[in-house]
A and B are shown apart, each in its own frame.
Chain A
Amino acid sequence: MYQHFAVGLILVLGLGATEYLTAAEPVASKGELLFALRVKPLLAQKCFACHGSQPDDLQGALDLTSRAAMLRGGESGAVVLKPGKPAASLLYTAAARISADYQMPPKENDALTEQQAKWLHDWIQAGAPWPGDDRLASIQNVSANELDAGVQVPTSGGLSDEWTQRRYAAADLWAYQPVRKPQAPVKIRATDGAHPIDAFIDKHLVDIGAPPAPRADRRMLLRRATFDLLGLPPSPLELDAFVHDPAPDEEAFAKVADRLLASPHYGEQWGRHWLDVARYADTAGLANDFERPNAWRYRDYVVRAFNDDKPYDQFIREQIAGDEIDPANPEMLIAVGLLRMGPWEQTGMSVARLTRQQFLDDVTDAVGQVFLAQPLQCCRCHDHKFDPIPTRDYYAFQAVFATTQFAERDAPFLPHENLGPIADDQGRLNQRIAHYEDELRRIAAKEEQAARQWYAERNLEYTPRNQLVKRGVPEEKIAPRHIGLTTEDFGLERVARKNLARHTWELDRYRPIAYSVYTGRTPTLSNVQSRLHMPSDPAKEGTWEATAILAGGDAFSATTPVTPGVLSCLATPRAEISEAPHGRRLALARWIADPRNPLTARVLVNRVWQHHFGQALAGNPNNFGATGKKPTHPELLDYLAATFMEQGWSIKKLHRLIMTSQAYQRSSQHPHMAAVSQKDPDKTAYAYFPMRRLSAEELRDAMLAASDELNRTVGGAPIRPDMNLEAALQPRQIMGTYAPAYQPSALPEQRNRRSIYAMRIRGLADPFLEVFNQPSSEKSCEIRDASTVATQAFALLNGEETYDRALAMAGSVLRENLNDRDAISLAFRRTLSREPTPEERDTCLAHWQRMTARHEQLEFLPQNSPKEVVRHAIEEMNGEPFTFIEKLEVYEDYVPDTKPWSVDSRTRGLAEVCLVLFNTNEFIYVP
């Protein structure tokens, strides 16, 4: 049915018809045509900014706006234009980047395409004709279709006519074309898969002459699918069940896929992928890095959405406009948390208008990237350089959010929300608050006492300073500020005051509120360090924000007003967004989730493919524009997008479709790798399954699973895993003071939960997760880096957290009462999902023995956890050092994980084997 949708773009393609200019004028020559239709617009776009538009500021004294000026050249004296001789013309050689020494335009992003350089070349070759303005205009008018001039795209209009009439290479507009469901190619060989995905993949393999790899063995397949869908290794029991399932391979595997898709841990793994894109964190970042009240409820909403297979179109609408859809439903208020996920704060040093604009810019760009794979920030200051998106559209899109306001709204906790972890810290938080209140009282009393003495010495009556200042008493008759206080007191006062504000706000995490938005007037916000309440009448206080194009993106340079709108380059679907304050976001969300929107479904299926195969079909999942990587299998992408919508936007059905293909079930090894590598150097043909490295979270979770320490409870307020102690206690500055120390959750079962539940603190990444490339959450992350760096070896081989896992795993294996050989087997099965080879078993047994002997020589004395940390700080006010002690309350009743002093040397010896297994390539790469 998708073939019948209206054409998304009006394509003005060159028709190649030859027309006459006017009766009196001669027909334009090839060179003139080239100049009028190609070279002149190219010069205007690429060169005139520095070589023409501003005669007073010509770079290199070179003017390129006339033929005479070109012939004259610039101050370097080089020949810029030699008609008939492109190779001797700097205009061509610099623009074609022939020499590394002199390249124009200087920026990579502005570099000419090969085709554009050829236009210059051919024009110069043709003698560089430069018709007068009138003739130029008439050639441009009459012969616009003469050459294959590219495609014009109607939009709401750019800041200049030149931009509005710009032409695009048709290939760059692929993503804006309607989704049409292609016919799957016909089988070529008998062995080709009947599965539609295989039809597309295998057709391409035949085209390039690369044979597919054989089917993966069951062990490999189970490990692949379990990590893929759950982010966890298969248990030895699951392994046995699958390996010994008498059902045929494909049938047995289909059952596995169903089992995994039904697991509550599926939503944790795929929700985590979404949180990368959504730039999720539990804190606000920037100067104060305040904890955000109940941001975790959004995280769990996402996990639930995946587990429940919430139709994706609904998922879109809820995250953009849930509060407008049903404000009485807490789930809807939680869902729109997405809009506020970016780093944001407002302090006494912030200009309210700028922080407001910062939110608007963030949300505009984020919604563009997340749902439409269209980064919009480029259009904040100018019309898009590569895509048909004018600045006007950027601000029209932004106007949708002009009535969106922040609030932590009342939203009762839901029966399926896990409230367990919330209660864990309340006592400690109150303890801290009481402590800082005491501190402030003590310091105030000290100051007052010194002030009293000061007044007594002068026979004056003691009066609090602020009262005297208010009365206009001259400074010399008032006791000096901070009288009687030492540098230490200054410092402590500041630490206490700032922390008190911080922790008091943190009490909000015990309240049933959602980190949410509402529609209303823009209030005047000053220093925000407590809950933003929903006003009783959102239309009362503040201003109805009007949106205008901001010159240069500057919040104080409003120019042309705009009304709310969507991307005008997409002819279909159209969205009429009313100027009324309410319903703007819902209208936008409906436009995005409209099955006729050519971007939305493609974007999602591309992301899903990416996480199954470790690489996307279109290589920039957040950018489908001209400069993003083009899809390697465009027809397959469209087939998946169309099917996805036909199947009710069901992501689980999409998983099934992908996982039942042979492409997914292929071995990651290939018997003819040399030949395949030659045919498929970019590794995008899927002749074999691409191996991938575990993500940071998968790695930590897999170790916890192998050591049998993992608490698999789903959801709830963030937990705090053990963090490298030095990093945890690392002092870090926040506004005017120092951030509280990181303290782990007190009990192993509280903290040894899946990594998705670990508190994401923008200002303090967990070094273990960070070193394995967990992205920072400042921006939407489309794909994770997986580079190998030395610090990974330190974390995994030397790190206390890894060693704790190895000790726990050794203990847990030994508790099974197996003989030594079977103990090694179990260790292999838990980590690598396979039995050791006989040689491996012997080597490991020998290692265990040697290490046990070594450990018998070592004594590990119990190490007490630190109860406090001494901070050396510089007092901001006077630049002098001071010291203070921060109590670490958690360690009062902290229970450590397995430690070397709590187990015998045989366990420690086996732990060395486990540690090595955690470090193997086989453990960390999914086959």
Chain B
Amino acid sequence: MNPANQTWLRREFLYGAGTTLGSIALSALLARETPAKTTATGPLSPKPGHFPARAKSCIFLLMEGGPSHIDTFDPKPKLHELHLQEFTRSGEDKSAMESGKRYFVESPFKFRKAGACGADMAENWQHLAEVADELCFYRGCQAESVNHPTALYHLNTGNRFGGDPAIGSWVTYGLGSENQDLPGFIVLPELAYPQGGAANWSNGFLPAHFQGTPLRPQGSPILDLQPPAGITREHQRENLDLLATLNRRHEEQYPWNDELGARVENYERAFRMQMQAPGIFDISSEDARTLDRYGVGAEPTDAFARRCLLARRLVERGVRFVQVYAGTWDSHDYIHRAHTALMKAVDRPLAALVQDLKQRGLLDETLLVWCGEFGRSPDNGVRGGVAYGRDHNAKAMTIWLAGGGVKAGHTVGATDELGAEAVEIVHPMRDLHVTLLRLLGLDDNRLTYFHGGRFKQLSQFGGKPIVELIA
């Protein structure tokens, strides 16, 4: 007897745990599999863009919750003078959060100039400072919503109310993906999904092939990727063979129906993915130096380090668009404690990701984006006493880009002396979308999908590239 299952519910392995997936008979079984065919006709097969691409793939690092630009990359000495000065704000256009008695809050963080380019960075960015010259900081972007889910939907899909395709869906729709055995758009969320949930990586009205596939950091990375415990691959192969037999008769009755054939092939594709994906997702095959450099196995970096390292493995294997979440940066109170912890958790992995990509010659063909759904306010509300935190701010934020086509070593745009509002090279979010598409070789105006009677596009109704960010 074979006591097959302690975990009938689901098998543990994964990039979270990095333990064995019965890699035992894997190579033997592999021999039986048909290798991945890159069919020229599949919905995810690679397609040329509209422009020569500056980057082939994208890693989008989403600092969910809204990191404070004032405490990370955009120092505001003026706030030192104004610290704790009170004022009152009111108005029909203000939310309860923004209204009432408020006071300015200076940044508790020290800043310094980093790299040859002299980028402004909080001292907490110990590791990221080493790659300052690879980054392009942008201070001119403005969002529209101060609510997390609507702002996240806006950043991810161009539409504040959700339901539209995410940027990763648009990109894979436009360019396909290099690897036909993995999804073209993969999301690496935190343990907890962000506000607004899976609509943040929805394919919206695009066909489902372009949906973001979240790789869950615990348990099964893709739901039901493996058969129930006890069901071996040979066992499943037999089921698939019976399925093929039964389908054959039906297909003969409908020789002109392509969908039937596509569905038959889909099972084989799923079977291959089931086989290969765990190996790709398992970062334990990386050498110790790499693991250490990212901060895998050390706190507080471990979780984000794993996601960053996995992101590199995925783009290396031809996945077009990877989105990595870290959060929550929603520090309404105690910004010193909260942002210290948050920066520490991401600093080392971020730097390692840039350096690792560079050493592997991948940085030039990968576009890195680091941003939140909005920035934070220079002032805070009085909530049961004074707390040094910051509220949401759609009018100012810092974004950084790195990699293919990006004007590295520059800081573009500026906010006012308080960091309350962007004042130079100001662009709405849709222009950032247009710019990211441009760097990947896509023209937002031509990357359209006819839905509900009109051509839809990521920027909703068109935008301009932010040329200052492009090398």
Contact = CB atoms under 8 A, between A and B. Distances in A.
Given A466-B384, A788-B262, A851-B238, A920 B195 contact: no
A375 B453 contact: yes
Interface in A585-627: 620, 622-623, 625, 627
Size band of the B side of the interface? 35 or more
Nearest to A734: B195
Interface stretch (B120-128, B329-337, B425-433): B329-337
Interface stretch (A417-425, A815-823, A875-883): A875-883
B342 A879 contact: yes
A351 interface: yes
Nearest to A736: B330
Contact of B216 (A730, A795, A857): A730
A353 B245 CA distance: 61
B118 interface: no
* Residue among A629, A669, A789 with most chain B CB within 10 A: A789
Contacts of B306: none
Given A109-B454, A475-B385, A776 B162 contact: yes
A297 to B, nearest CB: 25
A779 B273 CA distance: 33
Given A350-B147, A803-B228, A872 B219 contact: no
Nearest to B329: A879
Give the interface centre of A108, A764, A900 by most chain B CB atoms within 10 Å. A108
Contacts of B329: 879
Nearest to A917: B246
Contacts of B257: 691
Contact of B338 (A727, A803, A878, A919): A878
B226 interface: yes
A879 B266 contact: no
Given A108-B455, A673-B256, A797 B239 contact: yes
Given A349-B95, A556-B92, A798-B227, A791 B238 contact: no
A693 B230 CA distance: 31
Contacts of A108: 445-446, 448, 455, 457
A31 interface: no
Contacts of A919: 243, 267
Given A785-B207, A922-B250, A799 B224 contact: yes
A691 B94 CA distance: 54
B445 A920 contact: no
Contacts of A881: 300
B247 interface: yes
A530 interface: no
Contacts, number: 311
Interface stretch (A70-78, A241-249, A570-578, A842-850): A842-850
A763 B223 contact: no
Interface stretch (B53-61, B186-194, B402-410, B416-424): B186-194
B235 interface: yes
A769 to B, nearest CB: 13
A628 interface: yes
A915 B146 CA distance: 48
B96 A526 contact: yes
18 contacts: A103-B446, A106-B446, A107-B461, A286-B150, A349-B97, A358-B161, A556-B92, A726-B10, A726-B219, A733-B195, A764-B197, A787-B208, A797-B270, A837-B249, A851-B235, A858-B4, A876-B328, A876-B330
A881 B327 CA distance: 11
Interface stretch (A33-41, A709-717, A859-867): A859-867
B198 A765 contact: yes
B208 A287 contact: no
A771 B263 CA distance: 14
Given A108-B455, A350-B147, 15 more contacts: A286-B150, A351-B92, A628-B453, A726-B219, A731-B192, A770-B198, A788-B266, A791-B223, A794-B224, A798-B225, A843-B242, A863-B8, A877-B332, A879-B328, A879-B341
B209 interface: yes
A921 B247 contact: yes
B139 interface: no
B22 interface: no
B239 A623 contact: no
B230 A858 contact: yes
A878 B341 contact: yes
Given A733-B194, A873-B192, A863 B9 contact: yes
A205 B207 CA distance: 31
Interface string A706-738: 000000000000000000111100111111001
A877 B266 contact: no
Interface string B176-209: 0000000100000011111111110010010111
Given A353-B93, A481-B384, A858-B2, A782 B452 contact: yes
Contact of B195 (A386, A735, A776, A872): A735
B445 A797 contact: no
A836 to B, nearest CB: 9
A791 B310 CA distance: 20
Nearest to A920: B246
The 5 closest A-B pairs by CB, nearest first: A623-B453, A778-B163, A879-B338, A793-B270, A628-B453
B320 interface: no
A475 B384 CA distance: 11
A843 B245 contact: yes
B82 interface: no
B337 A778 contact: no
B95 A861 contact: no
B220 interface: yes
Contacts of A42: none
A913 B242 CA distance: 8
Given A877-B333, A920-B250, A674 B192 contact: no
Contact of A343 (B162, B216, B330): B162
A504 B187 CA distance: 34
Given A726-B223, A795-B223, A925 B260 contact: yes
A349 B96 contact: yes
B209 A880 contact: no
Given A481-B384, A726-B219, A877-B338, A789 B211 contact: yes
Contacts of A792: 266
Interface string B372-412: 00000000000011110100100000000000000000000
B140 interface: no
Nearest to A919: B243
Interface string B1-39: 111111011100000000000000000000000000000
A286 to B, nearest CB: 5
Contacts of B202: 776
Contact of B384 (A469, A669, A797, A873): A469
A876 B331 contact: yes
A622 B94 CA distance: 35
B215 to A, nearest CB: 12
